[in-house]
Structure 1
């Protein structure tokens, strides 16, 4: 509904604008003829006076126009998503186990024994003898002979001939031409300029001061250091005594005692510093800043375009048709009859008699009685008890946790940008013509002035 309200307003505004221009054109710039003076309305009236008295003014009218405007907004859209959800469940797992069970069985034990049995057999004894037999036999004798047979063969004779064949070829002819090409190059010009640069220079200033300096000299001093006191074991002198039993003198050593003895001393030379104060003149240097101006050269580089003309070669290729002749070989075949002779073998057979003596074997059989002994088996059976162990199966049940996946559907929201259209009001200013009539001249006694507003 909002989109439809502004359409009649816009149509009315366009109609009024069109009719206003037509009215203004029809009334020669005036809104209407109602406010023209009487003198101007007569057949001989003054047109200039009528134009000056009636003037058209324009009034600004503000109208509200609805315009379409696109805007973007966020819209929540729900998507259906399938996901697999793990579900825990308990499953019975059956397991077959085995236990050992003892049982007793009576097992038959079979034993095979043998006894000797005597029996007689008639044993044939075969003997091979030979007798001489003379007989005649015919033996075929084969002989191979040859006879000449003539036959005709067709032998192909090939001959190579040549014929002239004309063909056209296009021979390329390359021609080199030159054309003038204008190109722009940049030439670098270097120019040396100077600028004034102010720099600060530190100028040294020397001053002398009296300073007391502590100095001295080294002197060598000789000192005598006494040696250390050490303890020394000293033995007193011994005595000789005469021994009556051995009739010889015997030496008896004296007593040992500890005595402190001083070791000899040492002479040490060492240096001693003897200080003294001396007044000296010391030079102090201070720096005073001084500003100096100097001309420093610098180089200015500028690129100047230059137009040059150079000859650029280019190659044109044209083709000329040329007729050439070549020899094309072709082969002709002609069949020539030729008689040949070949040897055909054939076999002849003749019979030849001859006497042959050969030994013919024959066999004689004699039955001989013979006593033999053989082992006849017989079986004895005894039972013995035996304890066996067998595996007896039994089933155990255990619950195990398992995981399976179940497909579930859920809605997932997501935001989508949607473009919508809305009507936005806008103030439009346009000028509407308004006709104002001038007051009557003072010399005329005209009725009260009227203000005419054109439709």
Structure 2
């Protein structure tokens, strides 16, 4: 109510003041320009400085960010090389030589002589005679007969019947569904690089020189080898002595003695090696190692991932119950009696007598005396001395120089350029807004590390007139 009373009074006051009041503004002339101080109406400089001073202020903030950087580095790689090094060495070779030796052997000379000897032998004379023998024998007579035998058998009678049986089965119902699956696959990217490889080759050098070669020829030499000395039993001549019991002359053999007898020798042919030295030109090849370089390509494979979307099928299964009927067979058996007849054989035996006549042989012996003459050989031996020559082998050593190659491994360094990745700090400048402030001087310094200028303001001018 009080506000409504004051409103007509204020409206009357405004109408009374007229245009002078409108120039001063509202609120008792506080909004008019004539009450402003004179220094406030003076020019204050260019518009840009005033715009920067009245606008929002920014300051530059430097952040450290770690970035990935690829750089190239040189590494030393060692390759294993195999080289052959000639190593001289000496070895002893034994040559076989022969010298002549004389030796004496006793060569037996055998002679075979014969003498006649008479002896009596008794010669048996055999004669076969026969006599007749009669005997009675009993001879069996066999006969096979048959008789009928009745027997009963039980014969099974089978019958097949059927009955209905109900059963339940579970029938699967399959359904195929699909879902999308993101699969990461890799493809191989191949890069070809080259590296320097040192390898050693053997270069042949051919030389010709004269060498003494041991050679010879085979000659055939005949030798007489005496036979072995064996023992044999020799019986002296016997004589006839009168036997008063038998009233006849009985031959009595002589004594047996053992004497050594040398068997006849044999002539043996053998081959003898006759050595000789011959000059011969030999072509020798020696190898000199030579190092060569070549650029060998090698392939570097790297895997690059990429994403592929696939539709993967999967199967769902539901079961449904179903009742079915089937016929099950079963068998019944009944036994039926049946009479049968079979014939069984049996054997009867009867004896009958019979007279048998046969010829039985027998042998008679009678002795007859017979005089015989035989020639008995005997051997006489005489020893004969003989001088022979034989070749005896002996060894002569000699030294031979040879060269053999040994394989040695060594590591050869080489420099390979490798790409590596490292983290490098990097300064990033960004503008951050701050409270509005007044400029001190029209020229603002620029941060040398940033591309954007830095807005400078005096710390005491932040609360000036608006």
Do they superpose with TM above 0.5? Answer: no
- Give the structure-2-normalised TM-score: 0.40
- Give the structure-1-normalised TM-score: 0.41
